Structure 1
Amino acid sequence: MRAVIPDADSMHEFGRTVAGLLQAGDLIVLTGPLGAGKTTFTRGLGEGLQVRGSVTSPTFVLARTHPSTIGGPPLVHVDAYRLGSALELDDLDIDFVRSIVVVEWGRGMLNGIADSWLDIEIERPVGASQAAASVVADEAEVLDLDEPRTVTVTPHGPRWPNEFDGDFAPTGP
């Protein structure tokens, strides 16, 4: 599935929509440049899953666990930017079976970790990352510019169908 998400609010809502499809044991790998909207998507996902705590980028702590407020699986948000291999990801001792796990910068690190996952790539317009170079010091997040992003969702493994239907496509204003 490939779609254009028009703005940050729609990216957040896309995360909420995807949350409705997830269950314990599901894994999402997020790929995209700084400021693409990976954390905005994950905030929406957390809201849709009704987890506790503010979803922020785990850049400096590598992983954050957000327990469910409704008895569902926790959301584990991982930033693999500083990790060098699947072995280092495995060393974080994440409960992949009982959690919903989102791994930013995790492409290529899933060998032996999972047999199914959703690969979500977020592309931003060329040159936008330079325009969004302001950094929020306490969270090390690049500020999102409110502009369209192209999102490609690729399922891997037996958990996901080969293609998604229109029910999965994000909706914009």
Structure 2
Amino acid sequence: MKFQLPGIEQTAQFARQLAGELKAGDLIILSGELGAGKTTFTQTLGEALGVRPGIISPTFVLVRIHPSLIGGPDLVHVDAYRLGSAAEIDDIDLENTLDSSVTVVEWGEGRVEHLSDSYLLIRLERPSESPEAAGDEDSEPRSLELTAVGPRWADLEAGSFEADLGQQH
């Protein structure tokens, strides 16, 4: 499923809607260049899941756990940018929290798929030069591609997301 989103608010809306579909044990892999909106997506997702606020990119600590404030699953936020192999991923022991949390891995494509037989891969892209935005990153359009893998997501359809997000392809 691919969506053309007019700006960062629609990207956040997508994250809020996705949060309603998530449960403990879900793995989300975020892909996209610097500034594509991966951390903003995770912040909105965490807010919608009701976890402790203060989500920032875990670039230097690699993993941050944000406990639920409402009795739901915790959010485990990972930055795999500096990790180069499956062995390095295994060293940070995500298996310990995977079943009881929603796990979001930025820069995880090609690095963490072995952790679960079901996951969502979300690719975010922002055009490098957008005349519509004129320098305003929040109003720059984004492309969001969602790939659902495995039995957990077999029934996920584009209709799960409201039509006002943007144009679906």
TM-score, normalized by length of structure 1?
0.85
Say whether 1:106 aligns with 2:118: no
Deviation larger for 62-71 or 158-167 = 158-167
Unaligned 5+ runs, structure 1: 133-142
Correspondence for 1:154 among 129, 133, 147: 147
Partner SS for 1:159: helix
What are the Cα deviations for residues 65-101 of structure 1, in whole angstroms up to 9, with x where unaligned? 0000011110001000000112211211121111100
The structure where helix makes up a greater share of residues is: 2
Distance in 1 between residues matched to 2:57 and 2:163, nearest whole Å: 23
Distance in 2 between residues matched to 1:47 and 1:171, nearest whole Å: 21
Unaligned 5+ runs, structure 2: none
Contact 2:127 2:141 in 1 (8 A): yes
TM-score, normalized by length of structure 2?
0.87
CA positional deviation for 1:12: 1.6
Percent identity, aligned pairs only, is 52
The AA in structure 2 aligned to 1:70 is I
CA gap of 1:11–1:167, structure 2 versus 1, over 3 A, is: same
Partner SS for 1:28: strand
Contact 1:11 1:44 in 2 (8 A): no
After the TM superposition, which residues 55-74 of structure 1 pair with which residues of structure 2 at under 5 Å, given as runs? 55-74=55-74
Deviation larger for 85-94 or 58-67 = 85-94
The aligned residue for residue 14 of structure 1 is 14
Distance in 2 between residues matched to 1:170 and 1:54, nearest whole Å: 30
Contact 1:14 1:171 in 2 (8 A): no
